[in-house]
C-alpha cells in the first residue's frame, strides 16, 4: 500500500509542470511520504527546512484571520508551497517559473491520499 501511495504521489508530481518534489511530513518535518526529481534542491527536502513552516504557520494564525492553511514562498530559482493539514504538512517544491495556481490546486488533488495517511501520524 505504501508503494501504491508513493506511485500515486509520483504521478501527481509528474503530471504538474515544473514540480520538483512533494513531501508529506509530520509537523516536525519527519517524512512520511516523499517523491522528488533529481533537480530538487536537497536542502529543501530536509526536516530542518520543512519544520520551519510549523513555526511560520503558528505565527500566521495569530494575525486575526483564522488558521493558516496554505503558504507560498517564492525564491530566486524555486518556489515552495506548504499546505497545513496538521498533524500532517504537505510541502511542494517547484521551479520559480511554475504556475503557482496549479500548485495550490494540488491540495484538493491530494485529499484522498492524505485521508489514507491520517492514521499513520500519531496525534
Partner 1 sequence: MEKPLEKCLDEIAHSTGVSGVLCADHKGLCLGVRGKASNASSGTVAALAERVAMLEPGSLDPVILLESDNSQCLIHRNSGITLAVYKSPETS
* Rounded Cα gap, residues 54 and 92, in angstroms: 15
Q: Cell 500548485, residue?
A: 103
Smallest gap from residue 106 Cβ to partner 1 (A):
9
Does the protein bind partner 1 through residue 68 (CB under 8 A)? Answer: no
In sequence order, the β-bridge partners of residue 79 are: 74, 94
* Rounded Cα gap, residues 48 and 9, in angstroms: 22
Does the protein bind partner 1 through residue 100 (CB under 8 A)? Answer: yes
Determine the interface stretch with partner 1 among 1-9, 36-44, 52-60, 96-104 (rule: CB under 8 A).
Answer: 96-104
Determine the interface stretch with partner 1 among 54-62, 63-71, 99-107, 112-120 (rule: CB under 8 A).
Answer: 99-107
User: Site mask, partner 1, residues 9-28, x = CB under 8 A?
Assistant: --------x-----------
Among 99, 111, 112, 118, binds partner 1 (CB under 8 A): 99
**In the chain, what is the straight-line distance between the N-terminal and C-terminal CA atoms, in Å?**
22
**DSSP state, 75?**
-
Q: With CB under 8 A, what is the number of residues at the site for partner 1?
A: 9
**CA angle, residues 100, 101, 104, in degrees to nearest 5:** 90
What does the binding site for partner 1 look like in residue numbers (CB under 8 A)? 17, 99-105, 108
Amino acid at each position: 500500500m505504501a508503494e501504491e501511495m508513493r506511485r500515486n504521489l509520483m504521478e501527481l508530481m509528474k503530471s504538474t509542470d515544473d514540480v520538483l518534489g512533494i513531501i508529506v511530513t509530520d509537523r516536525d518535518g519527519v517524512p512520511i511520504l516523499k517523491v522528488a526529481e533529481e533537480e530538487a534542491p536537497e536542502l529543501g527536502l530536509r526536516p530542518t527546512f520543512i519544520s520551519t513552516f510549523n513555526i511560520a504557520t503558528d505565527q500566521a494564525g495569530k494575525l486575526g484571520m483564522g488558521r493558516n492553511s496554505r503558504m507560498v514562498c517564492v525564491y530566486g530559482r524555486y518556489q515552495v508551497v506548504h499546505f497545513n493539514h496538521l498533524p500532517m504538512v504537505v510541502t511542494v517544491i517547484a521551479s520559480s517559473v511554475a504556475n503557482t495556481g496549479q500548485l495550490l490546486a494540488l491540495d484538493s488533488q491530494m485529499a484522498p491520499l492524505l485521508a489514507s495517511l491520517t492514521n499513520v501520524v500519531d496525534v
